[in-house]
Amino acid sequence: MVRWIPFLNVPLHRRLETTAVVFYLMIVPMCMLFAFYALVIPLFWGLTIPYLFWMLFIDDRWEHGGRRLGLVRNHRVWNYFRDYFPISLIASTKLDPNKNYIFGSHPHGIISMGVFCNFATNACGVDQKFPGVTIHPLTLASNFKFPFLRDILMSFGISSVSRAGCDNILQSGPGQSVLIVVGGAEESLDAHPGNNELLLKKRKGFIKLAFAHGASLVPVYAFGENDIFDQVDNPKGSWIRSLQTKVMQITGIAPALFNGRGIFNYDFGLLPHRHRIVSVVGEPIDVPKINNPSKELVDHYQQLYMDALSNLFHKYKDEYASDSDDLKIH
C-alpha cells in the first residue's frame, strides 16, 4: 500500500527541501535535453557549433580542477538540499594548508549525495572547516563529454578522476587536493540500508598517486550514505548480481536497481529517503614522495589507510550508525 503525502499539511521548509533535491536530480536529464535541442534545431547552431569546437578542442579545465564559482557553491538551494536528509560534515582534525591531500570517501552509495553536499558545495562549511585547503571532488572523465553538464560540474570545482586530472591538481600549489570515491560505481551494487561493505583491497591507484606527489591520505566515512535508497536483493553469486556485473563490464555503468520515494508518496520513486548522512573526515596519513615505490611499500601504506579507515568507522559508529552492520573491506 502506497502512503501518500498530505501535501497541504507539509510545512513550507520541507517543500523547499524536496524541491532542492528534485532540482539536483534534474540537472543531468535537463542538460541532456538542452544538448539535444541545441544539436537538432538549426536556429541554435550559430552558438552550438562554436561551443562544441571550444568544448572538444580548446577547453581543458575539466582536467585542471574545473572552474569553482562561489556563487554556485554557496547558493541557498544547497542549504535546503542539506536539510532534506540532513547532511553534516565532521572534521576530526585540522589540516595543514601547506600540504596536498588525497581524500578517500567511503562508501559510494547509490549517488554519493554526501560527497556532493559536503565537498562540491559549501552548505556544510567545508571551506571554513579546512581553511586554505581546496578540495576537488573527482568524477569519471566521460561526464565531461556531455555539453552543458560539464560546465555545471566544473562550476562546483569537480574535476576528472583521470591520472592527468589528479596530477594537474596536486601539483598546482599548496592546499590543492582531490577527493576520490575509492570504491567506484561497482561499490554501489552493495549499497543496501545498514550495510557497510567496501571495495578497497584491490584499489591501489590512489596510494601510488600519493607517492607520486608526496600527498597525505585522508580517510572519510559517510555514515548513512547507504541508507537513503532501497535496492533489490542482489547477493554475490545471484543471477541478478551476475547480470549487473556483466552490464557494468560492457558499459562501465553499474546498473543498481534502487528505489526511494516520490514527490507525492513515501514508498516509491527516485527521490532519496530522508535519512541522516554524516561524513567524518579522519586524520591524515603522511606519505613520502617516491617516484617508483615498491609493491611492498604500496601495500604497507594501503594497510595503514585501511586500518585508519577502520578505526575511524568504529570510533564514530555508535554515535552515527549504531544499528548498522559492521565494516567489511574486500
Neighbours of 131 (CB within 10 A): 10
pLDDT reported for residue 279: 98
Instruction: Kindly tell me the sign of the dihedral angle through the C-alpha atoms of 238, 242, 244, 245.
Output: positive
pLDDT reported for residue 8: 80
Quick one: which of 99, 129, 135 has its CA closest to 216?
99
Point out the residues of the chain with pLDDT beneath 70: none
180: Cβ–Cβ under 8 A, 6 or more apart, which residues? 102, 103, 104, 105, 138, 161, 206
Confirm whether 327 is domain-assigned: no
Confirm whether 6 is domain-assigned: no
Instruction: Report how far residue 244's alpha carbon sits from residue 253's, in angstroms, rounded to the nearest whole number.
Output: 9
pLDDT reported for residue 250: 87
196: which 3 cell numbers?
557497510
- Using CB atoms within 10 Å of the CB of residue 326, give its burial: 0 to 12 exposed, 13 to 18 middle, 19+ buried: exposed
Confirm whether 170 is domain-assigned: yes
252: which 3 cell numbers?
562501465
Q: What is the pLDDT of residues 195-233, one digit of tens each?
A: 999 999 999 999 999 999 999 999 999 999 999 999 999
Confirm whether 226 is domain-assigned: yes
Judge contact between 330 and 187, C-beta under 8 A: no
Name the residue with cell 536556429.
Answer: 43
Quick one: which of 120, 126, 97, 134 has its CA closest to 24?
120
Confirm whether 29 is domain-assigned: yes
**Could you tell me the residue range of the domain that residue 66 belongs to?**
11-318
Confirm whether 282 is domain-assigned: yes
Confirm whether 172 is domain-assigned: yes
Confirm whether 330 is domain-assigned: no
Degrees to nearest 5, angle at CA 14 with 10 and 19: 115
Domains identified in the chain, total number:
1
Judge contact between 219 and 180, C-beta under 8 A: no
244: which 3 cell numbers?
549487473
